[in-house]
Structure formats: structure tokens, C-alpha cells
Amino acid sequence: MPAITKRLNFLFRSTKGLVLVAIALIALVTALFGTLSGPLAEWGVKDIVVRGLGLRLVEAEREGRIIMLYHAIALAVVAIETYLITALVPMKQSEQTRINGTITVGYITALVFGLLFAYFGRNWICHGLFLFGQSLIFFAGVQLAVALWPWKREYRRQDAAYARTRRGLDLERTAFFTMAVAMLGSALFGAAAGAYFGNGFESFLAENVVREPHKTALQLAVIGHLHIMLTLIGVALTLIVGRWFDFQGRLHKLAMPLMIAGTIIVTLGVWAVVPVEEIAHYIIYAGSVPAALAAFLLVIYGWRKLIRERLAEQGLKKASLRQNLAALLHDPLKFGALWQMVYMNFVVTFVGIFMAIRLEKIVRTWPWREERVELTGHWHVLAALIATIILLYYADLIGLQGKARQWFGWLVIVGSNLAFAAAALFGTKRLYVSESAQQPLVNWATTLIDLGLATVLVVLASLLLWRLVDLFQRKGLWAKEWAEADLAAGEEVRR
Amino acid sequence: MKRAVIMLACLALLAGCGPQAAPTTPPKMETGISPETWALVPAGEFLLGQHDHPTMLDYNYEIMVTPVTNSQYARYLNAALAAGKVKMANNQVVGYYAGDKFQGRRHEKKITAGDWLHVPLASQDLRLAFDGQTFTVKPGYENHPMTMVTWFGAQAYCEFYGGRLPSEAEWEKAARGSDGRPFPWGHEIARNNANFYSSRDPFEKNVGTLGNTTPVGFYNGKTYDGYQTLNSPSPYGLYDMAGNVWQWTADIYEGIHYRYLRGGSKTNYGYDLRVWTRNSAEPTYASPSVGFRCVRPVSK
């Protein structure tokens, strides 16, 4: 019994354990529900899973099911980010424990009962528990915002290397705080609409109403909610990666005010979609630029640091271009996390900008189903890129070393990049081929997407399998990680 | 690492070598379902849309049992050309349309009175041939649905024969009857219920998973060269109300110039074949996956 207690303590009371549990749950959900569409459905795996598990897939409820599946995954991602924030940003131990405890119960309740409601018959008790779980997550978010309050005396930034005001206000902490408050507001923004649509009324997918000339306020709120939540998850992750790299110096001082301003403006812009849709997009563009610029500054800082540290390790004072490049690529986990942010621009941002600029001239001359393929591809790629950055960070967090680090890092980068490039090509295929000539492109693109994603999933499965086996060992990595967490818990305020 | 990359690349190469679209003559298959037949849809209430809104259509109407075929459309074009209802311009069949009311809404385009595209003759995807005098059908496609026809071309056909395009409500009622089913034949979809993406019908063998059109009324329970279909009519006996080709509908909505399509096509996943699923396109849009059928008042 003590052996099980120790392991449960590791899994549910340490940051590394909590992140591992959340990643494992997301992986399980992805593996299971991924069989219901795409190639696995085509190969007949879907039928086996549906029969084997007794899933109840009512055709009219498909959109509602998908919405709950998206929420189940997204809530677990929010939980992971929360664990990382409470571990990285100084706060009281008791605050960290309360926040992590609340969100863990919240997201697991919402995930389990949300999926039971969606896929195993509409049991309204499950739906109630899904809402209860989400409420707990919201409450954890409120606690997080309180803990992050940047104007507390004890959190004044003394070190001049980091962004701060003259009075010592820590601007990075303020950026985290701004993100947390914006996310709470945006969650409410979605919850208001969800309270109508989710309670058995007419659930819909945002991409399905994109061409409707008249959208209701609640429909606009749903569209806004999904966009801003994904954006804020991205903002949070950028800030987390900044902590991972110990982002500081001149670029940090530039980046943090930009990130704060960008977060506020983008959030207000998205909320403005409901009352003033016509001008909301301009506000969103205005906010996206500083936020993206802040991320760009982090990339510059991070890559320079990677090169500098590697060259120092090698004892090279002057290096050739090739040596600089080799130093940059030396650690695929750290390089990859920042590279994915850059790559995001090619397969998400630039495609999105093109679509916006050429909406009337090109995109809206396609039938709506073609536009929908691009829209769904666009945000699936963005969400998946965010997931890969989390995976790369987690692999570093658990101290993956040597060849395992290289293989894991490069396979995640190459696999995902291949898949997302092909997805971007697939989504915009009508630009290059006519409908009747598209079969070869579709064959290639779908093959590359499947191959790339399969690579990432196999690598992830290997990592999780290793961690699972490790849990059965008395002195496994888990025991070391738990001992470290136990030590850290002794400090009242962690820095 | 290098070896792994090379192996992955080889796998991708192999996997990408699927069947490719090529202009081939399809196998001739007679379905036994006449495209000249019409079905009666009686007045009454039915459940409209994904969320089953009770809706009343208080009149009887007749609707074509199958989509309009290439043979029917070629015959129409020859008659309409002779009657001066359509004309040739820049290798296109065009015809007059009185225009839409323009509201000046965001994204709305003007559809003014004048000649509009019916059929683009230059398209490789068109299953009709024109020798300067007469329209004929390319061999093998006689009983396949007419495609590469714009909304204007579809509407003109129906009006020429005293009918019109169905409204979305008329189309959906004809597809699902009054019991709220999601597919014309019932509650679930199997590969041999309809022609959709990767449904493995005999026509996919030549051109790949995105498929080719199947002859109208193909899914009627018959076996074609060893391929067994399921009999999949709608409650009123209509075929191809799910899959094969999207079908133009008549409605013109305030503030937007798009026209709406129903039914899903050979290139869509099964869920897009649910009877309430909509697609939209500009009225000048023509595609190898878009066809139509007509409705008319009940004949005496």
C-alpha cells in the first residue's frame, strides 16, 4: 500500500507527475477518439471501436460530441499550463497546492464525464459533472490570478536584468497575470453562450456558420471564445517557454510590455466581435502584432543563447557559420520549441493572412466546404503545434538525455512539420489544382499528414510507455522526481 | 537517423502512389431506375434541420426521382438552343437571369440582370460534347448525373420544362420524410448505401478515393459486377438524395448571393451526407461534384 501511495503522491502532488498524468490522458483520448475519423475510420477501425466500447453515435449529435471532445482535450492542456505556471512563477506553496488540486479534480471530472455524456448516451448527471468540472477549473483560474497578483510587495523584481517598472513591478509576472485574467473573462464569454447551446439547444461548429449573413450574438460569442482561448493558451505557453529559457535582458524588457499590451488588445478585440463585429478584426490585428513580436523576440533571445552556450561548452570563441548552425541545432528540444513558434507562421499565420486578404477574390469563390477544410485545418495545426511545444518542454523537464533526447526531439519536429506542411497544402489545394485533378495531391498530402502525425504519436507513446514501466520500478525516475518535489515543497515561497 | 529518414521517405513515396484521376470511359451500368420518373411528396409536416424543427409544407409537389442526367441535359440544351432560351458565348452556354435584389451587406456580391454562365464548355470535366450544332454525351456517362452546371443552368433547365429547383425545405422533406431520419434510407450509413469519399464503389477503382459519379439510382439493391449495393431510396422513393453529387436548391436569402446545395457528394465523408447538411457556392460555380434535380406542381 505505501508503494501505491508514494506513486499516487508523485502523480498527483508533483508538477512532473501532474503533467505526466495530463499528457497521458490527452494521449489516451487522442488515440481512442482518433479512430473515429480519418484513415482509421476508412480502414474500418472505427466500427470495431464503436462496437467494442458500445459508443452511441447519434448522427444529429455529432457536432455536440466534437465540441465536448475539443473541450476535454483543451481543459487538460490548460491544466498542464497551470501546473507549469505554478511551478515557474514565484508563489506560496499553499497557493500552488490549492490551485493544482482544484484544477486536477476539475479537468479530470470534466474530461471523464464530458466524454461519457458525449459518446456513451446522454446521461444528464454526466453533463452536470462536466459542468461542475469546468466550474472547478474556472475557480482554479481565479485562484491562479490571485496568486499571480503582481503588485504584491514580495514579488517586486529586484534584478535589473528582467523587465520591470521603476517601482519594481515584475512585468513578466504581470504578463502571466494579464493572460490569466483574460482567460477567465474569455471562459465566461464562452460559458454564456455555452449555457444556451450546451443545454440541449442547437449546438453548432463555428466553421459551419462562417458564411451565414446573420449570426446571433451567442453564435458570435462561440466563435470569439474558441479563437481567444486558443490564442491565450499560445500566449501562456510563450511565457512558459520564456521562463524555461530564463528570458532576460534587453529583449525581455521589450517583449514583456508588448506581450501585455498584445494580450489585452487581442482579448478586447475578440470580445468586441459580439457588439461591433465590423471593427473587431482591426482591433485583433492591432493586438496580434505586439504579441507575435514578443514571441519573435523570445525566439531571437533563445536561439542566441543556445548558440552561445554550446559554443562555450565546445570552447569556441570564434565560430564559422556551420559551427553556429550546429550549435543551434545541437539540442532539438530547446531548438524545437522555438522553431515550432517560427514554423507556426508558415503553416498558420501566413495562410490565415492570405485567406483574410484574398477572402472575397479567391476563398469565397470556392464552395463553403472547401473554405471549411482550410478553417478547420488552420486551427487544428495551431493546436497541434502548441501540443508539440509542450511535449518538447516536458521531455526536457524530465531530463531526457543523449540519443533518446535527439531521437525524441527530431522525430517530433520532423514528423509534425511534415504533417502540418502537408495539411496547409491540403487546406489550400484549390489554389493549385482543380477538383477533378486533385486526387494525386490529396493522396500525397493525406499520406504525409498521416505519416507525420503517426511519427509524433509513436514517439509520444514510447515516452509514455517508458514512464509507465518506470512507475513499476522501486527506484525509478519517478522516485527521484518525487524526492525533488518533496524538497521543493519545504520552501514557503519558491523563486 | 539517416536510414530512418530514407525509409520514411520511401514509405511516403509508396503510399502516395494511389490511383490517379484520368479521363477514362466508365463501365456502362444500367440501374433500372428511370430518370424520367417523378415522385409525389404530399402536403404535411416534417422535421427540418439537424435539430428537428417541425415545419409545415401545406402543398403537394412532385420531385424527380433521380438527379438530372447528362442525357437529359444534352437533350435540353439542344432544345433550348433551338428555342433561343440559351446561347453560346466565349465557349460557354449562357442565359438570361433577371438578377437578385442587392442589399449591400458585408461579403455580398451583386447578381445583376443579364446573361450568366450555365455550362462552361471548355472544361475537361464536362461530360457533354458540342460539335457546333448539337450537344451529345461522352460515352459511358449517359446515365450519370449532369455536372459542371451552374445554379443558373440548373434553374433554366427546370423552368424550361415547367418546373423549378426545389427549395431547401422541399428538398429536405423529400429526402427524409417525416420521421426525422438523418439519411434518406435510415439512421446509419454503410459504404454501399451511397457514393461518398472512400466508399469503395466500382468507379473509385479507376480514379481514387475521391471517386467518380455513379449512374443515377445506382444504390438500389442491385449487384453490379460483383459489387452489391444496398437499396437506399428516400421515404418517397427518391434515389441519390445522399452522395454522388451536391444538388442546387432554389432559395435566395437576404443579404447574401450564395446559393445552397444539399446532399453531399462523392468527395465528402459520410457525415456530410446527412440530410440537413448544407453547402454553399456562388451561383456561377460549376463542379464535377455538383448537379441538381427539379420539382414541379402535381400533374393533374
Q: Indicate the domain borders of chain B.
A: 59-68+141-296
Q: What are phi and psi of A80, to 5 degrees?
A: -60, -45
B93: Cα separation from own chain's centroid: 19
The amino acid occupying position A491 is E
Domain membership flag for residue A393: no
As a whole number of angstroms, the distance between CA A172 and CA A164 comes to: 8
Task: Give the residue-averaged pLDDT of B73-84.
Answer: 98
Q: Is the pLDDT assigned to residue B282 strictly greater than 50? A: yes
pLDDT for res B21: 45
- Residue A443 is inside which H or E element, if any? helix A439-471
Q: Are A165 and A257 in contact (CB under 8 A)?
A: no
B267: Cα separation from own chain's centroid: 12
pLDDT for res B22: 46
Choosing among A51, A59, A65, which should be mutated to test the B contact, i.e. which has the most B CBs within 10 A?
A: A59
Q: What is the pLDDT of residues B158-188, one digit of tens each?
A: 999 999 999 999 999 999 999 999 999 999 9
Selecting from B124, B271, B290 the residue whose C-beta is nearest the C-beta of A436 gives B124
A31: Cα separation from own chain's centroid: 18
As a whole number of angstroms, the distance between CA A361 and CA B109 comes to: 11
pLDDT for res A493: 45
Q: How confident is the model at residue B252 (pLDDT cuts 50, 70, 90)?
A: very high
- Assess A51–B contact: CB distance below 8 Å, yes or no: no
Tally of domains in chain A: 1
pLDDT for res A213: 83
As a whole number of angstroms, the distance between CA A430 and CA A426 comes to: 8
Q: Are A420 and A453 in contact (CB under 8 A)?
A: no
Q: What is the pLDDT of residues B193-203, one digit of tens each?
A: 999 998 989 88
Q: Residue B250 burial (CB < 10 Å; 0-12/13-18/19+)?
A: buried
* Beta strands B61-64; B295-296: pairing state: antiparallel
Collect all residues of chain B within an 8 Å Cβ-Cβ radius of residue A214. 255
- Assess A120–B contact: CB distance below 8 Å, yes or no: no
Q: Which residues fall within 8 angstroms of residue A418, CB to CB, at 6 or more apart?
A: A448, A451, A452, A455
Answer yes or no: do A62 and B183 touch at CB < 8 A: no
pLDDT for res A494: 47
At residue B192's C-alpha, the angle toward residues B188 and B198, to 5°, is 95
Selecting from A59, A211, A214 the residue whose C-beta is nearest the C-beta of B182 gives A59
Q: How confident is the model at residue B7 (pLDDT cuts 50, 70, 90)?
A: low
Collect all residues of chain A within an 8 Å Cβ-Cβ radius of residue B22. none
Answer yes or no: do B285 and A410 touch at CB < 8 A: no
- CA dihedral of residues A295, A296, A299, A305 (deg, nearest 10): -110
Answer yes or no: do B274 and A59 touch at CB < 8 A: yes
% of chain B with per-residue pLDDT over 70: 91
Collect all residues of chain A within an 8 Å Cβ-Cβ radius of residue B268. 369
Joined together, the cell numbers standing for residue A181 give 485574467
Joined together, the cell numbers standing for residue A339 give 522553431
Q: How confident is the model at residue B107 (pLDDT cuts 50, 70, 90)?
A: confident
Mean pLDDT for chain B overall: 92
Task: Tally DSSP H helices, then E strands, for chain A.
Answer: 18, 0
Q: Which residues fall within 8 angstroms of residue A76, CB to CB, at 6 or more apart?
A: A22, A25, A26, A29, A107, A111
Q: Are A104 and A139 in contact (CB under 8 A)?
A: no
Q: Are B283 and B257 in contact (CB under 8 A)?
A: yes
Answer yes or no: do A368 and B289 touch at CB < 8 A: no
Fold of B59-68+141-296: paralog of FGE (formylglycine-generating enzyme) (3.90.1580)
ipTM: 0.88
- Assess A196–B contact: CB distance below 8 Å, yes or no: no
B69 pairs with which residues across the strands? B145
pLDDT for res B214: 96
Domain span holding position A102: 1-148
**Coil, strand or helix at B97:** strand
As a whole number of angstroms, the distance between CA B272 and CA B279 comes to: 9
Q: What is the pLDDT along chain A (495 residues), one digit of tens a residue?
A: 788 999 999 999 999 999 999 999 999 999 999 999 888 888 889 999 999 999 999 999 999 999 999 999 999 999 999 999 999 999 999 999 999 999 999 999 999 999 999 999 889 999 999 999 999 999 999 999 999 999 999 999 999 999 999 999 999 999 999 999 999 999 999 988 888 776 666 888 999 988 888 888 989 999 999 999 999 999 999 999 999 999 999 999 999 999 999 999 999 999 999 999 889 999 999 999 999 999 999 999 999 999 999 999 999 989 999 999 999 999 999 999 999 999 999 999 999 888 888 888 888 899 999 999 999 999 899 999 999 999 999 999 999 999 999 999 999 999 999 999 999 999 999 998 988 888 899 999 999 999 999 999 999 999 999 999 999 999 999 999 999 886 666 554 444
Joined together, the cell numbers standing for residue A280 give 473587431
Q: What CATH number is attached to the domain comprising A113?
A: 1.20.120
Q: Which residues fall within 8 angstroms of residue B121, CB to CB, at 6 or more apart?
A: B88, B91, B92, B93, B128, B130
Q: Residue B35 burial (CB < 10 Å; 0-12/13-18/19+)?
A: buried
Domain membership flag for residue A187: no
**CA torsion sign, A385 to A390 to A396 to A399?**
negative
Domain membership flag for residue A274: no
DSSP state of B102: P
For residue A471, the distance in angstroms to the closest alpha carbon of chain B comes to 29
Answer yes or no: do A455 and B198 touch at CB < 8 A: no
Residues A426-454 as b/e (b if ≥16 CB within 10 A, e otherwise) read bbbbbeeeebbebbbbbbbbbbbbbbbbe
Q: Are A306 and A327 in contact (CB under 8 A)?
A: yes
For residue A277, what is the nearest residue in chain B, using CA coordinates?
B106
Other CB atoms within 10 A of residue A193 CB: 20
Question: Chain A 399-428, CB below 8 Å of chain B: which residues?
Answer: 406-407, 410, 414
pLDDT for res A242: 98
pLDDT for res B142: 96
* Beta strands B290-291; B246-248: pairing state: parallel
Q: Are B293 and B262 in contact (CB under 8 A)?
A: no
Answer yes or no: do A440 and B12 touch at CB < 8 A: no
Joined together, the cell numbers standing for residue A419 give 504533417
Selecting from B8, B125, B183 the residue whose C-beta is nearest the C-beta of A451 gives B8
pLDDT for res A42: 84
Answer yes or no: do B289 and A439 touch at CB < 8 A: no
